[in-house]
C-alpha cells in the first residue's frame, strides 16, 4: 500500500517493476520458445574501445559539511563492472547516474544518523521524535534497489551466460561500513 513516506503520494496506477520479468537469454536458450520455435539470436557486433562517459559534476559535489559526495566513485565502479561483463553500451548512462546518486545519498543519510543518533527534537513541542534522516535514508535505499533492479534486468537480458559474480550492489554494504569506520 502506498504511504506518504514512500513518495508515491497515495495514488493508484501501475507500480514500477510489477508484473512478470523478462527471461534471461540463457533461460530462453535452455527452454526454447513456448511454441517450440527456435530462438533467433542476433549477432550484433560489440563496439570495442568504448570509453566511460564523463560523470556529471554534481556526482562529486562538495556537501555542506565539507565532505565529497561518493556518487562519482559509485558511478565509476558500476560502469567498470558493466564494461567487464560486456553490457556497458546497453545500460543508459543516466540510469547509472541515478543509481549512483541514490546510493550516495543513502550512505550520506546513514552517516548523519550515526553522528546525530536515532532521535531528534520536535520543533514545537521539544519532545523526542525519530530522526527524519532514517525515513529519508530508507527512501533513498528503496530507490537505489529499484534502480539496481532495472540495471540488473538489462544485464540478465543481454548476458549469454549465467551470471553469479560480485556486483557493485553487493559492495554497497562494504562501502557503508568503510565510511562508518572513518567517522
For the chain, what are the domain ranges? 59-183
Angle 64-66-69 (CA atoms, 0-180°, nearest 5)? Answer: 85
pLDDT (tens digit per residue) in 117-166: 899 899 899 999 999 999 999 999 999 999 999 998 888 887 766 656 66
Contact yes or no for 120/129 (Cβ under 8 A): yes
Q: Cα(154)–Cα(6) distance, rounded to whole angstroms? A: 25
Q: 0.75 exceeded by the pTM? A: no
Angle 97-62-89 (CA atoms, 0-180°, nearest 5)? Answer: 15
Beta carbons within 8 Å of 144's beta carbon, 6+ residues apart: 99, 102, 103, 106, 172
Beta carbons within 8 Å of 37's beta carbon, 6+ residues apart: none
pLDDT (tens digit per residue) in 38-76: 655 545 455 555 677 777 788 888 888 888 888 999 999
Sign of the Cα torsion 121, 125, 129, 131 reads: negative
What are the percentages of helix, strand and coil residues in the chain, rounded to 5?
Answer: 50, 5, 45
Amino acid at each position: 500500500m502506498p504511504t506518504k513516506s514512500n513518495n508515491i503520494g497515495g495514488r493508484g496506477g501501475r507500480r514500477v517493476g510489477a508484473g512478470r520479468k523478462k527471461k534471461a537469454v540463457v533461460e530462453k536458450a535452455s527452454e526454447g520458445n513456448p511454441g517450440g520455435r527456435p530462438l533467433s539470436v542476433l549477432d550484433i557486433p560489440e563496439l570495442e574501445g568504448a570509453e566511460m562517459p564523463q560523470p556529471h559534476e554534481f556526482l562529486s559535489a562538495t556537501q555542506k559539511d565539507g565532505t565529497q559526495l561518493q556518487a562519482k566513485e559509485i558511478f565509476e565502479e558500476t560502469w567498470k563492472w558493466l564494461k567487464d561483463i560486456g553490457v556497458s553500451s546497453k545500460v543508459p548512462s543516466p540510469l547509472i547516474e541515478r543509481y549512483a546518486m541514490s546510493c550516495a545519498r543513502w550512505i550520506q543519510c546513514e552517516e548523519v544518523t550515526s553522528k546525530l543518533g536515532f532521535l531528534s527534537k520536535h520543533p514545537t513541542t521539544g519532545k523526542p521524535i525519530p530522526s527524519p534522516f532514517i525515513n529519508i535514508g530508507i527512501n533513498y535505499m528503496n530507490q537505489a534497489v529499484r534502480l539496481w533492479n532495472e540495471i540488473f534486468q538489462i544485464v540478465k537480458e543481454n548476458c549469454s551466460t549465467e551470471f553469479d559474480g560480485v556486483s557493485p550492489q553487493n559492495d554497497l554494504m562494504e562501502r557503508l561500513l568503510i565510511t562508518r569506520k572513518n567517522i
